[in-house]
Amino acid sequence: MKHPSSRLVVLLGLTFVAGFDSIAPAAVQPDRPNILVIVSDDQGYADLGFQGCRDIPTPHLDRLAASGIRFSNGYVTHPFCSPSRAGLLTGRYQQRFGHEQNPFFDPNDHREGLPTTEKLLPEFLRDAGYVTGWIGKWHLGAAPEFWPQHRGFTETFGFLGGGHHYLNWKTNAAQEYNLPIERNGRPVAVTNHLTLAFGDEGAAFVRRHQTEPWFLYLAFNAPHTPAEPTPDRLAQFKSIADPKRRKYAAQVSLLDDAVGGVLAALRESGQDRRTLVFFFSDNGGPIMTNGWNGSSNLPLRGGKGEVYEGGIRVPFVMSWPGKLPAACGSDMTVSTLDVFPTALALAGVPLPTNRPPDGVNLLPYLTGAVTNAPNPQLFWRMGGGRQLAIRAGDSKLVRLRSQPDALFDLAGDLGETQDLAGRRTNEVRRLGAGLDGWNKTLVPPAFPGLAGHAANPKNSKQLVEP
């Protein structure tokens, strides 16, 4: 499927957003826009209808993409869960404050979580008068100071760990995948499939706050393992021969229904035209033999846990009916780092100067007010430097420990199959120097994380795949 260039998006955007500049000083407007950020978990790049998927219908997410802009060059800041979410909520490369691992789940460990020195997006928006809600998966620390209600969220519903069972679990506060589901810090009973429960909660939040600006971070854990779809939904995919793919498809379908319920609440309450919606996955789908959840990242190389495109390039949509163009594709290079400054601009909140964000406000680029590239360079680092990458324009340098730098031209080689390092030595040196310079601005990992606890036998029951 071919998508129009980013230039066409800009031209269409000028038609749709006439008078958009009047939104800039949002602090003086009585009706500031809502902001809805929807995140899926471990979803494959190819596993949505608007991405070309044929065996998993996703009508609700397809409708969302059709109502806005689908970015073919959309990225996250890290190839696995917790660091990716830390980058999203701070607007900064998470390695700047040492959040480079999935935290080990221990409510008594005051290192293992998103450092409290960082002020999160919901804190800025709450202070600006927004109702702020978190629903779903947290995975940013289990000790009390890391809890979402202490990080700027006024309403919360979900679980603190990195994953959870979806059906018929026995609640156990000491087992990460059986943790209680909590509403505003108090355990509640959940009888529905967990994905649908999160969707219902999101729809209720939208309907509850029709007269005040709000920010909702709707962070699903689907389709992350364990694969536990409802039996009736699984039966709908009996034509898929591979059992893992079949269960995964059912999980994605339930996710699509849950998102559809939230989007329906927006339309039915008349809030869709004053709500900016983001959708993306937290990282690429896991494709390792033992860790595969049934996802597909084709045509990309690699997957979760890798700085190849399959680990960091994700389905990425922005929608704001009447303000941004509909049914458009863009080849702009965008990042989840951009959510933070875009949201603050809508809320009329100045950007922090003590910890400036690494992303940009995307709205001027989409309306044509700014015509250069929003992110001329993006960087990645994993494992304290075991894997690094830089993208500049269409060129991407990948550096794996103990291996020579590899260079790829993503414009003609999306699957990163042809290493051009031997033919473009000057470009390798230039990008390598840029990567070195960025890496020098970072700090070592602030906590050992899940991997750092793996050698301790007493932790064996708590350890799960990242």
pLDDT digits (tens, 9 = 90+) for 207-217: 999 999 999 99
Residue 12 has what pLDDT?
Answer: 40
| Average predicted confidence (pLDDT) for the chain | 92
- Provide CB contacts within 8 A for 54, sequence distance 6+: none
Residue 125 shares a structural domain with residue 12: yes
Domain contains 167:
yes
Tell me: pLDDT of 82 over 50. yes
Distance between CA atoms of residues 347 and 369, nearest Å: 19
What pLDDT band is residue 450 in, cutting at 50, 70 and 90? confident
Name the pLDDT band for 28 (thresholds 50, 70, 90). Answer: very low
- Residue 122 shares a structural domain with residue 243: yes
**Residues 411, 392 share a domain:** yes
Model pLDDT, residue 204: 98
pLDDT over 60 at 14, yes or no: no
User: Is 53 one of the catalytic residues?
Assistant: no
User: Which of the listed residues 376, 403, 433 is the one where a domain comes to its end?
Assistant: 376
pLDDT at 226: 96
Rounded CA gap, 208 and 203, in Å?
Answer: 9
Query: 176, 463 in Cβ contact below 8 A?
Result: no
Please indicate, yes or no, whether residues 283 and 411 belong to a single structural domain of this protein: no
CA angle 416–86–115, rounded 5-degree value: 135
| Statement: residue 24 has pLDDT above 70 | no
- 161 located within any domain: yes
Annotated active-site residue in 139, 193, 209, 453: 139
pLDDT at 455: 54
75-85 mean pLDDT:
98
pTM above the 0.85 mark? yes
Chain-centre distance for alpha carbon 95: 17
Do 369 and 398 have their domain in common?
A: no
Among 376, 397, 422, the domain boundary falls at: 376
Count of domains in the chain?
2
Q: Which domain holds residue 293?
A: 6-376
Distance CA 256, CA 253 (A): 5
Cβ–Cβ contacts within 10 Å for residue 282, how many?
A: 30
| Residue 451 in domain | no
Give the separation between CA 26 and CA 369, rounded to whole angstroms: 17
Catalytic hit among 53, 81, 99, 209: 81
Asked if residue 205 belongs to a domain, the reply is yes
Q: Is the pLDDT of residue 21 over 70?
A: no
Tell me if residue 139 is catalytic: yes
Q: Could you identify the residue written with the tokens 């390092």?
A: 421
pLDDT beyond 60 at 30? no
In terms of domains, do 50 and 108 share one? Answer: yes
Question: In this structure, is residue 197 part of a structural domain?
Answer: yes
Percent of the chain with pLDDT over 90: 88
Residue 110 lies in a domain: yes
As given in the structure block, the two tokens for residue 438 are 């960025």
Whether 289 and 393 share a structural domain: no
Q: How many CB atoms lie within 10 A of CB 301?
A: 21
Give yes or no for residue 314 having a pLDDT over 80.
yes
236: which DSSP letter? T
Other Cβ atoms within 10 Å of 306 Cβ, number = 26
**pLDDT the model gives residue 85:** 98
Residues 354 and 396 in one domain: no
Mean pLDDT of 54-63: 98
Query: Same domain, yes or no, for 121 and 177?
Result: yes
Q: What is the DSSP letter of 149?
A: G
Report whether pLDDT(289) > 70: no
The CA-atom distances, in angstroms, between 55 and each of 64, 70, 224, 427 are 19, 20, 18, 41
**One domain, residues 398 and 274:** no
Identify whether 30 is part of a domain.
yes
Give the CA-trace dihedral at 66, 3, 248, 87, to 10 degrees: -90
CATH number assigned to the domain comprising residue 406: 3.30.1120.10
Whether residues 141 and 224 fall in one domain: yes
Give the pLDDT of residue 267: 98
Bridge-partner residues for 156, per DSSP?
134
Q: In what order do the strands lie in the sheet containing 131-137?
A: 186-188, 181-183, 155-159, 131-137, 214-219, 34-40, 275-281, 316-319, 69-75, 328-335
Q: Give the pLDDT of residue 396.
A: 98
CB proximity list for 29: less than 8 A, separation 6 or greater? 23, 348
**Neighbouring residues of 70: CB distance < 8 A, sequence distance ≥ 6:** 3, 50, 315, 316, 317, 328, 329, 330
Residue 183's CATH number: 3.40.720.10
The better pLDDT of the pair 191, 11 is held by: 191
Q: Are 105 and 56 part of one and the same domain? A: yes
For range 111-117, the mean pLDDT? 97
User: Over the stretch 421-447, which tens digit does the pLDDT of each residue have?
Assistant: 999 999 999 999 999 999 999 999 999
Residue recorded with tokens 């329906």: 264
Phi, psi of 400 (to 5 degrees): -110, 140
**359, 376, 393: which is the final residue of a domain?**
376
Residue 458 falls within a domain, yes or no?
no
Confirm if 55 and 76 have CB atoms less than 8 A apart.
no
| pLDDT level of residue 465 (50, 70, 90 thresholds) | low
Q: Is the pLDDT reported for residue 374 higher than 70?
A: yes
